[in-house]
């Protein structure tokens, strides 16, 4: 690693401080001896709230950019309409009632972050998750089941952020400063530089040094731990009964499809980072994430985007249609051919593409919505899927929060028509979904946003690990086959847990 000059310089920082409340100070270092994971482990030890976002492109190569953050300037949580914002290490706490997405919009606007040339495409913002139950603030749904013990939504604005560029083997280190009219601007700038220098010392150190005397040193152990036993929140019989009831609604004309899920749970006997290490080996995916906010940690390998907004372009990619991977290339190709020829899978996929077009059309310019790559097969470690792309140009007067509101939750985890499908889910599933079928990602300072669907995700909370998976129910669904689909979709996560427990 070699130091480069800090930017902006002090004169430019003074200019930015006049107009903005959040101003970054950054520098670039050589990072050819580290992976994003080792940088994350060195950087974030000791911090409660932290994240790592990585990606695998096409199931074959690592994505160019990875993002790491910790040390929040502020945090945002909501449960129902109860919202809490914590600042300055919990020294300042505000509680009020309201709708989460409008509150997040106001918060991001109030932060008034400065743009500095030379920073990566994503350099800061609100990072976190939207739980499935956010839908209750967007649609008038029955509120039968009790609130879960963790937030419906949780976000943070990290003070420290690292953007790792695997192509150039460089990392941009960013420290966000928060200013008010009474601050000593020179002192704020000097403090940011000291924080970046301290971060460099951390990143240059050996990994084991950081964990030698720390409670988190268990994440480096490799000896075997007794393998976990998973229990489901439904029996095969109760799941089958749920499917049959859903089919009655379908035959009555209430819905065309509804996605029903079950949850698998086991004891948590190791640190979540060890699970993440295993999951990124077992099931690398377009959206790999480790997100720890408060007492909830999500370790995910989601294959599916919820929605992305970049430069005014809206994009989502519905995934519907699944087959397991073959034992060899010949069987893989045979299963692909079978999937592409399956009329049920194709009809379900086209229906969800149409639903995606309708969602994007709600916030896109008229005539700008299009479908790209209709029904291509994408392969992952344990399954293959049918995937399509839906795009549109953001309409004037709309923003990143409007985009999420229009597309949340994804039709691929709810059904169609979406609102009636969600009502049926609420009636038939025995528990609220929590983070499952929601979204993980960010609202960027510059107006961009990127969220994946919270599927293929392990939730660590209160000494438990939970995995949830669903199946799309249609008129001719076979309950046993749909039950098995939930097992297949959860298998990569189960194997990651088993690997983490065995040691590697």
Judge whether 25 and 193 are in contact, CB under 8 Å: yes
CA 53/CA 65 separation, integer angstroms: 9
Element housing 263 (H / E): strand 257-267
Q: Report the phi/psi class of residue 311: left, alpha or beta, with left for phi > 0 and alpha for psi in -120 to 50.
A: left
Judge whether 308 and 451 are in contact, CB under 8 Å: yes
CA 265/CA 282 separation, integer angstroms: 19
Residue 324 annotated among the catalytic residues of the structure: no
Residue 456 annotated among the catalytic residues of the structure: yes
**Which residue has tokens 């300037």?**
73
> Any bridge partners for residue 308, and if so which?
315, 450
Q: What is the CA radius of gyration of the chain?
A: 23
> Of residues 297, 412, 457, 486, which has the active-site annotation?
412
Positions of E strands within 333-488: 370-379, 383-393, 415-416, 439-444, 449-453, 457-461, 464-473
> Of residues 290, 436, 442, 501, which has the active-site annotation?
436
Judge whether 158 and 71 are in contact, CB under 8 Å: yes
Residue 385 annotated among the catalytic residues of the structure: yes
> Of residues 277, 379, 385, 433, which has the active-site annotation?
385
Q: Is 196 helix (H, G, I), strand (E, B) or coil?
A: helix
Q: Report the phi/psi class of residue 219: left, alpha or beta, with left for phi > 0 and alpha for psi in -120 to 50.
A: alpha
CA 376/CA 386 separation, integer angstroms: 6
> Of residues 124, 456, 486, 501, which has the active-site annotation?
456
Positions of E strands within 41-195: 50-54, 56-57, 61-62, 65-79, 82-87, 92-97, 125-130, 153-165, 170-178
> Of residues 472, 483, 486, 501, which has the active-site annotation?
472
Q: Is 138 helix (H, G, I), strand (E, B) or coil?
A: helix
Q: Is 135 helix (H, G, I), strand (E, B) or coil?
A: helix
Which active-site residues does the annotation give?
385, 412, 436, 456, 472
């Amino acid at each position: 690693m070699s130091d480069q000059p800090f930017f902006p310089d002090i004169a430019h920082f003074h200019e930015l401080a006049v107009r903005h409340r959040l101003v970054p100070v950054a520098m670039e270092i050589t990072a050819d001896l580290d992976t994003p994971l080792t940088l994350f482990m060195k950087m974030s030890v000791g911090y409660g709230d932290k994240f790592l976002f990585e990606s695998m492109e096409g199931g074959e190569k690592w994505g160019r950019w990875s993002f790491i953050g910790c040390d929040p300037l502020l945090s945002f949580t909501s449960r129902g309409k109860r919202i809490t914002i914590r600042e300055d290490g919990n020294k300042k706490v505000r509680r009020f009632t309201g709708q989460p997405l409008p509150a997040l919009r106001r918060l991001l606007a109030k932060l008034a972050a400065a743009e500095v040339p030379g920073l990566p495409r994503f350099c800061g913002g609100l990072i976190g998750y939207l739980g499935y139950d956010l839908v209750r603030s967007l649609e008038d749904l029955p509120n039968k089941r009790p609130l879960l013990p963790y937030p419906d939504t949780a976000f943070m604005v990290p003070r420290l952020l690292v953007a790792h560029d695997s192509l150039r083997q460089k990392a941009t280190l960013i420290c966000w400063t928060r200013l008010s009219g009474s601050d000593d601007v020179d002192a704020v700038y000097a403090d940011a530089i000291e924080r970046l220098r301290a971060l460099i010392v951390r990143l240059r150190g050996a990994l084991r040094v950081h964990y030698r005397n720390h409670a988190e040193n268990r994440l480096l152990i490799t000896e075997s731990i007794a393998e976990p036993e998973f229990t489901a929140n439904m029996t095969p019989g109760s799941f089958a009964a749920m499917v049959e009831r859903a089919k009655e609604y379908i035959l009555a004309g209430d819905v065309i499809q509804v996605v029903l899920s079950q949850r698998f749970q086991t004891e948590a006997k190791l640190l979540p980072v060890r699970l993440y290490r295993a999951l990124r080996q077992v099931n690398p995916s377009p959206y790999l994430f480790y997100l720890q906010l408060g007492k909830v940690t999500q370790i995910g390998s989601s294959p599916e985007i919820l929605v992305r907004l970049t430069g005014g372009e809206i994009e989502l990619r519905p995934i519907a249609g699944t087959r397991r991977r073959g034992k060899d290339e010949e069987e893989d190709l045979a299963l692909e051919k079978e999937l592409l020829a399956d009329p049920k899978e194709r009809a379900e996929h086209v229906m969800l593409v149409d639903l995606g077009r309708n969602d994007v059309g709600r916030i896109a310019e008229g005539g700008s919505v299009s479908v790209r790559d209709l029904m291509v097969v994408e392969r992952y470690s344990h399954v293959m899927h049918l995937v399509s792309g839906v795009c549109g140009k953001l309409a004037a007067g709309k923003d990143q929060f409007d985009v999420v509101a229009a597309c949340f939750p994804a039709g691929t985890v709810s059904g169609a028509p979406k609102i009636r499908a969600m009502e049926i889910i609420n009636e038939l599933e025995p528990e609220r979904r929590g983070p499952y079928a929601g979204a993980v990602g960010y609202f960027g300072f510059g107006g961009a946003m990127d969220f994946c669907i919270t599927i293929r995700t392990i939730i660590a909370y209160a000494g438990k690990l939970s995995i949830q998976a669903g199946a799309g129910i249609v008129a001719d669904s076979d309950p046993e086959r749909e039950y098995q689909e939930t097992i297949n979709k959860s298998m990569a996560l189960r194997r990651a847990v088993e690997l983490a427990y065995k040691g590697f």
